[in-house]
Amino acid sequence: MTRLLSREFYARGPLVVAKELIGKKLVRTLTSGDELSGLIVESEAYGGESDPASHAYRGRTARNGVMFGKPGHAYVYFTYGVHYCLNFVTHSSSERASAVLIRAAEPLSGLEIMSINRKTNVPTQLASGPGKLCQAFSIDGQLSGVDVTKIDSPIKVEESFFKPRVMRSKRIGISVARDRMWRFYADSNPNVSKIPRMSNRSLREG
DNA sequence: TCGATGATTGAG
DNA sequence: TCAATCATCGAA
């Protein structure tokens, strides 16, 4: 018996949800019927119109419309002309248009298909980053907007046995609002992102 | 329209 | 350290 996370789970704001998603089971059901799954080990919170790093910062656009809808829906966007990133809409009544980016997972089932999708069978290279995770799990823009609280959704999140110590840090890969400690990850998990060494550019910009 | 940029990744 | 690669968005 597995327990599917409810709309209420997602409706508590991005910080609570980002933290509590660590250790949960991400389940992707393909149209073929095959099931891919993994444990979420890294996430980041993105606020609404008050977070300069959020896609929702400048208000609603064609791309970010899903963020302004109900919590518990997937927001998938395309970036760098190459990769997709998976988020879950999480806002509460007090915090509009926020979301949680799923940055990494530890593969549990469907590793054979993931290996084909990723063109590698090194386990820690399958879903150890937001773009890699989407590629491994066959997630693209067509899935943006799906209601992940529905039992027949192609993307779902379930409770799991995994209760890791949750660590916290600054977010990765953004150029503004860098000080917020809004990244969460499972302690000592080999799939979490390695923090990039600070570049000269970053040092110059302070 | 037009140009800059990006919640990244992998190769060199 | 840097190129790939293109949808998006604000400015013109």
Q: Give A38-67 pLDDT, tens digit per residue.
A: 999 999 999 998 999 999 999 999 999 999
Residue A204 binned pLDDT confidence (cut-offs 50, 70, 90): very low
Give pTM, 2 decimals: 0.95
Instruction: Evaluate if the CB of A203 falls below 7 Å from strand C.
Output: no
**The pLDDT value given to residue A195:** 77
Q: Give A94-147 pLDDT, tens digit per residue.
A: 778 999 999 999 999 999 999 999 999 999 999 999 999 999 999 999 999 999
**The pLDDT value given to residue A202:** 37
Residue A74 confidence (pLDDT) above 50: yes
Taking the CA atoms of A83, A127, A195 and A168 in sequence, report the sign of the dihedral they define: positive
Instruction: Evaluate if the CB of A61 falls below 7 Å from strand C.
Output: yes
Q: What percent of chain A has pLDDT over 70?
A: 94
Instruction: Evaluate if the CB of A80 falls below 7 Å from strand C.
Output: yes
| Strand B bases within 7 angstroms of protein beta carbons | 5-10
